[in-house]
Structures are given as C-alpha cells and as structure tokens.
Structure 1
C-alpha cells in the first residue's frame, strides 16, 4: 500500500520522503516543533496556524492505520473466538481458583500471597498519583488521567493476554491510549505520559506473567521468582537504565540529535524520536487537528472500523463453512501485527523477517523436519 499511495499522491505525499520517522511541513521541510511551543510547554496556536499543520509520510500514515486495525483485530478476535476462555478465566480469577497442572503438583513450594501483588499495585498507583499531582506543571497529566490509564490496562489485559498466549504477539494499547489522552488533554506535550501508564502497565504485566510461567516450568520457587523480578528486575533495571541515559547524554556529543550527528553515527535514538513524534501528534497538536475534524487525515480513522469488521467476516465464514478448517487458521492479528514496530523498524527488517520465517517455519518444517 505504501508504494501505491505514493504513486497516486494520496494526501500529496510526493512532497515528503516515503519512509522516514519524522514530522514535516506541506512542502517537505522538517517541522520545527520548538517554534510552536510556548514557555508553558503548551501549543502556540497562532504560530501553528502560521507554520501550517503537521504532515506525515506515507509509511507513517499507513503504520498509524495498521496499528489501529491491529487493535480492532485483537480485541474482536479474542471476543468472538475465545469468549468462553475469557469468561472462564475472569470467573476463576475472581474466585481465586488455581488449576493444578503437572508442574504445580510436583512443586512443594509456597505460593506468592495475593497481598504481595496488591501491595505493589496500590503503592505504585499511589506514587504515580502523588508524582503527577505534585509535579503537575512539568508532567501535565492530571491525577484522574492516571486512574483512566490504569482502568484501560486492567480492562484489556485479559483479552490481549489470550492473544499473546495464542500467537506469541501482544497487540499494544499505544494507539488507543494516544487517542484517548489526545482528546481528553489536547495541546499538552508531556501529558502523553498517559500512554506510558496505559500501555506499559499491560505490557509489563504480561511480561511478568510470562516470566512466572517460565519459572513455573523450571520448578523455581514462586516467592523467589517474585522477589527476583521485583528487586533485581524492576528496581535494578530502572536505576541501570537511568544511569545509562545520564552517561550517554554526558559523554556522547549530540546524542539523539540527528541534525548534528555524523551520517554513520549509531546514536540516533530511533525509539526516542518515535516517542517524541507521537507526543507531538497525539498529545501536543492533538488527534483532532491531524486525524479528526480539523485535520486532513480523518480517513485514517476508518482503519479502526476495518479492524473490527475483518475478524467478524472470518468468524462468519467459519460458521458458514465449518468443514473448511483453513478458515479458522486465518488470524488477523498475526497478519498485520508484525508491522507494529514500523517506525522505527524499516521495510528491510520486515522483509528479512518474512523471508526467514517462511523458510524456517514452512519450507524446512515441511521438507527437512529432521534438521
């Protein structure tokens, strides 16, 4: 779709590079974000109108659309194909029922008390609420935004967890949370930290459970796993990341500044630049001025609807032709989920991943299984 959109000049994208992760003016020049930021880190609407709106490249637009589709694919697929598992897991979770598999029967260790999890949950939410309230001028996120982000993560963790357990891919809540905060708190640059709380809470929870599952199979005591993850993984990891960032900014000249770095420099910080662009699009300028009624990319919102309709069509086809087993193998989150990292990933990463997966997962598995 990217070459076709570029070929037919959809949204006048020929004025822009076809595949960068950046923001542009309508003539293809890089957008000077600092020029539209006022001293309070709010959007200067007068300067923004003078400069013109933010424009996205073809690949960026399609990536936003495919991410929207992926969210619809994941939620509806889990709802219509795994509704029994959803309901059963929800009931057993609240009843505290623990299914005894063969690994659990062999383990003679104590379980992790529920209050350990509750304590970490309540204390962390309390710390986040205090931080956002006390440093509100800097963080810009109101206290109720934290609660909304937590509610979103809690609501979607089970259906997305089922998808992750089925296909080993966990669809993110990044686009959904960005839309929500973009409409609730427009014109705020830093308030997009809402995405971190809504998206990362769910991602970290699923990673936490996945690590626990590995430890379960390896017969590691659950309480030891818990303490290792909390103390070593989270605490030490947080300080380690912070220390590395401080060292990088202090020792590496022009780190992350692509305009001043050498062309072959590895210190371009692609994930950081993507996160900044996302903060500008969804938090600072706001989705209404780009993808809403005031923007020229409003048709991208139709990807949400297509993402919800596509799994329904597969479900209807499967019910209409129950003997056709191949229909049930059509899994929409798998088809487009791999594009979630574009950008900063490029088409080179995508093509190489497809080729290696096809060769190893189909050709070798079918014709050289003894390998």
Structure 2
C-alpha cells in the first residue's frame, strides 16, 4: 500500500496511514492476540509514514536548492541520533516521571496517542473485528462500501464537472472528519490553514516570482525555528518550572476537556454499551 498512499500524499499533501487497515487484517488473522495486533498496527503506520516523510524531506531539500547527497547524509545522521535520543528519553520518562500517562499527571504527560493505541488494540485485538462488525456494530461493515462508492462517484463527478469540483477530494473530506475525533483540537490546524491560504493561494497568484524563490526556504526556516524554539522553551522555562500567567498558558485549562468534567447523562448502572458477556 506504500505506492498508492504515496501518490495520495503527493497529490493532496495528506498522509493516509495504513494502521487502521493493519489492525483489521491482523484481527482476522490472529484473533484474540492483542500484542500481535498492536505490533502490526505500529508497523502498518510507521512504514508508510516514515517513507513518506523521507521522500517529503528530499522534495523539500530539492525545492530549497540543497544538494541531494547532503540532504540524504543529514537524514541518515539525524535518524541515527533521533533513535538513540528517543530510546533514552522514553526510558528516562518511565523511570523518573511520577503518575506517567495518568489523566491527573501534573505536567500533562497524559500519553494521548498510547491511550488511543491501547483502545484500538483492545477493540480489534481482543474483541476482534469479527465481533465488532458482526455482533456489536454490524452497520460499520457498510463503511467499506461507502468509501469505495464515494471514490468512484467523486471521480465521475470531477470528470463531468471539472470546473466546480477541481479542488474536491474524497480522501481529504473523509480524513478531515476523522480529525474531529483525534488527539488534538482545531488550534493545531487552524494556523496552518491561514498560512496555507496566504502563501499557496494569495502570494502564489500575485507574487509568483517571490513564491518560487522563497516559499520553500521560508517553510524550512519556520519548521527549523519551531524545533529549536521547543528545545529552548523546554530547557529555559518548562524544565526550570518558570510560570507565566497569560492567556496562552491558561486557556488550555479553562475548558471541560482539561477538567474532564463534562457530561450529558448520568452513567447508568453497568455502564454504556453491550452488557458484560452480551456479545458473542
């Protein structure tokens, strides 16, 4: 699946991970084996994700007028260093951070992605897709058909109405809906929307020469600046427990998501969903 997903990424700029397909296939292959399901999910996600990131960096280096061999050497060196740093940091966090991955962790090391990974592993590893699609939520089987038909329908509509549907892509629409329930909120994506509109629409249409010469250099500089600023902020402010009482630091804790206090109904006795032992 790497080649078609890479094509979609090249056309739309959106990375379509194969982790969901991996957990479903693994759930049928080795039902009830949560560990095997988790391993296949991680590999199913990382193979295409790392390959697409690797190609994207080479493409960015090309547009930024950097020598390809120098970019490749930098990628290999950075990958080696990052592997050691990641392993060391993970072991350090596990050994030194109290209440790690708990929703009450004081420094917000709540581990949102591992929690999502754990939920998927339980759902498709232990419960299994056979029960999920046949006993618990049988209507979900039709989502595969809906996605297949939507792709063909969008292709036909773009053939007959290319002027009006030039920028309509079913992968982006469906993936955008999927982002709604992800680990991050719109504040992570809205600034990118404004920046993308400004540079890829307004500046490209009215100042093409500037866009061709500086656009990719600018985005490389912004990406590097964010990485360096993250290191500086952590070492100088977060690590030293320096506090600033301003809107940008307090708004994240003012909503119901942070306080985990929102509810519409009282939890019934026995919880929600199928009763224990009710699915077969």
- The reply on whether 1:315 has 2:185 as its aligned counterpart is no
Q: What is the aligned counterpart of 1:327 among 160, 165, 169?
A: 165
Deviations 1:42-77 (A, max 9, x none): xxxxxxxxxxxxxxxxxxxxxxxxxxxxxxxxxxxx
Report the equivalent of 1:271: 113
- For the residues of structure 2 that align with 1:246 and 1:340, how far apart are their CA atoms? 32
**1:182 offset after TM fit, Å?**
0.7
- For the residues of structure 2 that align with 1:208 and 1:360, how far apart are their CA atoms? 22
- For the residues of structure 1 that align with 2:85 and 2:32, how far apart are their CA atoms? 33
Moved over 6 A (4+): none
Cα RMSD after superposing both structures = 3.0
Report the equivalent of 1:186: 31
Higher relative contact order (CA 8 A, sep 6+): 1
**1:356 offset after TM fit, Å?**
7.0
TM-score (norm 1): 0.49
Q: What is the aligned counterpart of 1:345 among 183, 207, 212?
A: 183
- The reply on whether 1:305 has 2:145 as its aligned counterpart is yes
CA gap 1:296/1:234 in 2 versus in 1, 3 angstroms: same
Q: What is the aligned counterpart of 2:11 among 166, 189, 203?
A: 166
**1:191 offset after TM fit, Å?**
0.6
Contact 1:339 1:350 in 2 (8 A): no
**How many residues get paired?**
204
Task: Structure 2: state its 5+ residue gaps.
Answer: 208-280
Deviations 1:280-330 (A, max 9, x none): 11122211122x22x321211211111111121122223344xx5112332
Contact 1:274 1:343 in 2 (8 A): no
CA gap 1:310/1:358 in 2 versus in 1, 3 angstroms: farther
Task: Structure 1: state its 5+ residue gaps.
Answer: 1-155
TM-score (norm 2): 0.63
**1:176 offset after TM fit, Å?**
0.7
Contact 1:183 1:288 in 2 (8 A): yes
Contact 1:181 1:191 in 2 (8 A): yes
Deviations 1:253-282 (A, max 9, x none): 110023xx35x6411010111111111111
Contact 1:318 1:327 in 2 (8 A): yes
